[in-house]
Amino acid sequence: MHFIQGFLSKSVSNSVHISAEAVDIWQEITNVMVAKFKFPFLFQLFGVPKPLSAEVIREGVGGYRVAHFGNAAQFKQEIVSWERHKEYRFKFSPTKNFKVGHFMNLSKGPFEILTGGYQLVEAPDGIQLILTSNYQLHGPLGKALHLPFRLIVFCFQRHLLRGIRHNLKLADHHTE
């Protein structure tokens, strides 16, 4: 039922349990470094740009984060909600050269990522980190490729969340 609701509302969510403190997770999600992780072949095949890093340039509502990708493309993410160590949401503004599928431009193509956000929820032995993305479809191509697009966004979120969890595990080992 959740998949159908997300399909109709054009929202994709993913989560991962992380055995770490909220303050450490917050640092990792506001300034992400995932360049060193293996990028799944499926993403390469579909022309999904490899994420390298993202950093908050200015904190709080009205601030922004910039995400960098391997093809020199970027997202500027304007922060629309900010509750330190609990949640933040942002609007996406991809650069004009941000292409997915080798030819579909995310800034003016059949798919448009509108907003995204992280939520940290206390859980037994750690935090449940939730990543949500909301999107729009444009034209017949967007509607025809809705399901594959959802699947790619879902898998991409999973990749990012696992990379964040991995970074935190590495950081934990370095402090012991």
pLDDT at residue 174 greater than cutoff 60: no
Query: Of residues 46 and 168, which shows the higher confidence score?
Result: 168
User: Domain residues of the chain, as ranges?
Assistant: 2-175
pLDDT value of position 1: 43
Q: What is the pLDDT of residues 3-34, one digit of tens each?
A: 555 566 789 999 999 999 999 999 999 988 87
Amino acid 34 reads V
pLDDT at residue 132 greater than cutoff 90: yes
CB 30 within 8 A of CB 53: no
In this prediction, residues 123-134 reach a mean pLDDT of 94
> In which band, very low, low, confident or very high, does the pLDDT at 72 lie, cut at 50, 70 and 90?
confident
43's tokens: 């993403």
pLDDT value of position 103: 63
Bin 112: left if φ > 0, else alpha if -120 < ψ < 50, else beta: beta
Q: Does domain 2-175 have CATH number 3.30.450.20?
A: no
pLDDT at residue 2 greater than cutoff 60: no
